[in-house]
Each structure stands twice: as C-alpha cells, then as structure tokens.
C-alpha cells in the first residue's frame, strides 16, 4: 500500500474516531470482580452515550460485572446510534429472590439504533429452576434480556444463558437482527424460552445455537415478517408459533419463514399451537423449509387443542384460523412412529396445508401421519386415508 493510501486511511479512521464518543463502564465505577453491583455504573455510561449528539460506543472490558437490574430507556436519547461492545460477562444475582419477582433483568425500552456485539449475559437461574422443579413456593422468575417498543436493533455474537425464565424477549419492535447468538439453558429448566417474539415485524434470527428447557424460539400474537434461518435447536421444545388464542380479541401471525434448521433430540420440531377457545387470531403464510430432524418426538405438529397440564382448558373449538402453511424438504428421524400430527380446529379447519418432500423415519421405517380437520396436498409421505 502506498504512503498516500496509508495516510488517507489514517485520516478516515481519525475522522470516524473523532465523531464517535466512547464510554468505558469502568470509568463510571463498574467493577469487574463479579461481586460489586455495577448497575449504576452501566446506567451512567448509558446516560452519557444517550446524551451524545453523535454516534456513541459503550465499552465493557473483560471481567465479570454483577448487575442487580438495569433499565435502559431511549425515549430522550439524542444519539440515534449507540453501540455496546462487550468483552466481559454480565451476571445476575445468584440469589434468585433479589430479582425473581421482577419482569426483566436487563431491559431496553424505546431505543432506536442500538447494536450489541459480543459478551455474555448470565442469568444464574439454576437455583430457581431447582426450586420450581421441587414444587416449592418460588418466585415466577425474570426474563434475562428484553427489548420493548424499539427499532433498528442488532445483536451479534452475544451469549445469553441460564436465565431464570425467558432468555430473550422482543416485544413491540421493528427491524431487529439477531445473528451469531448462543442462547443456552439446561434441558430441565422450566419456561426458559430461548427467544420469544411478539407484536413485532421485520425480525430476523440467523446462524444461532439455541438450547433450553422450553421452546428454542416462540412466536406470539402480532408477529409478522419474521425470518429464522441457520438455527441449531436442542435441547428444547422446538420452534413454536403460539400458544395463540387465549384471548378472544387477538392479533394474528403471518409471513413467517423458518429454514435451514436442525432439531436435535427436541420434544417438537416445527409446531403451531392454539387454545381451543373463541379467538379472532390467525396463522397464515408460513414456510418451514430445509429442515433436519434428529430423534425428534413430534417433528411436525399442529395442535389446536393446546392444554398444558390439562388446566384452564375450556374444551371449545379453536377460533384461530390456520391457512397456507408449507412444509418443504424436511428429513431425518422421529422418536415416535407418528411424525406428522395435524390436529386442527373442528370449527375452523386448517386450509392450504402443503407437505412436499417430507421424509422422516422411525427405527429405519417410514413414519405415519395423523390429520384431523385439514385440507391441502401432500407428496412423498406415507399417510392414512384421513390425512390430506
């Protein structure tokens, strides 16, 4: 490279650096000893970055930072581009009673243009899981990392693990990109959904590893234009649309693509679940494509009589209308003989259900399909006469 080119690159770099304010959480009192509560220091660094008139960067050096809880509000931010670079680990209190009744541990609300790169968010939830699994009187638990009513969010190379409850929540957001994520919890951890998306549009979840005690990804009401690709799911309950239809007036789910996913030893693969009760909700324009199942109990499942633990079930027909769902190029092994279960609503039968190139085996034999109240077409799948 010529001296002139080097000089020009130096000028460009210097100009960018001059236009970006950098805030190190340690300069605001954060301690990397894993014992000192650094919540106020992180919030002070956020306030400084938020007040910047130019793009701002918050740096979190290596080490462990105890955070009791932190609420990052962007409503009054001047900066429209805040980058958080994390080289260390953020720790929730090990005593679950400290935050176990809070809704969130780390919360972002009404932020715009926030990007988070690297680092680990550790909810230290194992003690609460043990409490719940022992049927003791325990707090409900808190979601580790939540985004509410926010736009233009990026998370890349971030690990979120051991949350007391949901790991990541995206609620009321638009244009969110999660990529290169690791979302991890033990297989017996209750209600630890990996990523839950609701009331949001333009969300993509790419090239990520998710293993939890509940759904790897769960999709709630009011979700549209969701793209999920390149996911390794397991342990967990698979990728689920729903549960939907608990409320009579409820927004639907539409335009969802789930492709190039491997499910390993999960309870379900791709699932749609709705309560059997009146609802204005719907599920439509869904594509499940290029999916590998490895010893999955219910590889393909529509359950419109969802009723966990047989509690609060009204035993009515589901009002959620499911239409235009395509399952394409789904291969691998099922842990049960019936690999395709489409149990649709009697009052609102599923329509436009398409299965193409579905090849699932059980103990080296073709699997069966069970279908109720379904219309559509199928190819390449051994099935009983009542299926499609």
* ∠ Cα 316 346 339 (to 5°): 105
Tokens of 126: 């194992």
Confirm if 276 and 345 have CB atoms less than 8 A apart: yes
Confirm if 75 and 107 have CB atoms less than 8 A apart: no
Tokens of 228: 């999920």
- Of 260, 256, 236, 113, give the one whose Cα is nearest residue 177: 113
Alpha-carbon span 319 to 276, nearest angstrom: 7
Q: Is 315 a catalytic residue?
A: no
For residue 362, give Cα distances in angstroms to 225, 280, 290, 332.
34, 37, 19, 9
Residue ranges of the alpha helices (H) in the chain? Answer: 3-18, 39-50, 126-133
- Of 195, 189, 188, 141, give the one whose Cα is nearest residue 173: 195
DSSP track, 220-264: -TT-EEEEEEEEEE-SSS-EEEEEE-SSSS---EEEEEEEEEEEE
Kind of pairing, strands 168-171 and 143-148?
Answer: parallel
Confirm if 162 and 125 have CB atoms less than 8 A apart: yes
Q: Exposure of 118 by Cβ count < 10 A (0-12 exposed, 13-18 middle, 19+ buried)?
A: middle
Residues shown for the chain: 388
Q: Which residue has the tokens 């130019």?
A: 54
Q: What is the 3-state secondary structure (H, E, C) of 111-124?
A: CECEEEECCEEECC
DSSP track, 42-68: HHHHHHHHHT-SS-EEEEE-SSEEE-S
Q: Which entry of 13, 174, 196, 237 is annotated as an active-site residue?
A: 237
Catalytic annotation, residues: 237
């Amino acid at each position: 490279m010529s001296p002139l080119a080097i000089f020009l690159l130096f000028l460009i770099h210097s100009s960018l650096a001059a236009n970006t304010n950098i805030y190190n959480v340690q300069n605001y009192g954060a301690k990397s000893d894993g014992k000192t509560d650094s919540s106020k220091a992180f919030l002070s660094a956020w306030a400084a970055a938020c007040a910047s008139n130019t793009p701002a960067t918050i740096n979190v050096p290596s080490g462990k930072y105890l955070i009791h809880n932190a609420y990052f509000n962007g409503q009054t931010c001047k900066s429209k581009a805040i980058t958080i670079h994390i080289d260390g680990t953020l720790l929730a209190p090990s005593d679950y009673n400290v935050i176990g009744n809070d809704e969130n541990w780390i919360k972002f609300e009404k932020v715009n243009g926030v990007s988070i790169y690297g680092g680990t968010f550790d909810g230290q939830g194992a003690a609460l899981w043990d409490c719940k699994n022992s049927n003791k009187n325990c707090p409900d638990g808190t979601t580790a990392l939540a985004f509410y009513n926010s736009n233009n969010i990026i998370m890349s190379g971030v690990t979120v693990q051991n949350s007391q409850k949901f790991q990541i929540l995206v609620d009321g957001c638009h244009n969110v990109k999660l990529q290169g994520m690791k979302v991890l919890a033990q297989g017996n951890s209750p209600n630890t959904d990996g990523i839950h998306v609701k009331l949001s549009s333009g969300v993509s979840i790419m090239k990520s590893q998710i293993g939890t005690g509940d759904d790897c990804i769960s999709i709630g009401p009011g979700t549209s234009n969701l793209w999920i690709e390149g996911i390794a799911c397991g342990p967990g309950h698979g990728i689920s649309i729903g549960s939907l239809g608990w409320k009579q007036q409820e927004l639907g789910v539409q335009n969802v693509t789930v492709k190039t996913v491997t499910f390993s030893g999960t309870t379900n693969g791709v699932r749609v679940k709705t309560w059997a009760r009146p609802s204005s909700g719907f599920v439509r324009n869904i594509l499940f494509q290029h999916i590998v199942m490895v010893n999955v109990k219910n590889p393909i499942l529509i359950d419109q009589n969802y009723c966990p633990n047989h509690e609060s079930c009204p035993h009515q027909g589901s009002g959620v209308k499911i239409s235009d769902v395509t399952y394409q190029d789904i291969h691998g092994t099922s842990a049960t003989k019936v690999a395709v279960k489409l149990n649709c609503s009697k009052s609102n039968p599923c329509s436009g259900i398409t299965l193409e190139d579905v090849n699932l085996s059980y103990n080296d034999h073709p699997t069966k399909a069970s279908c109720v109240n379904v219309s559509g077409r199928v190819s390449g799948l051994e099935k009983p006469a009542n299926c499609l």
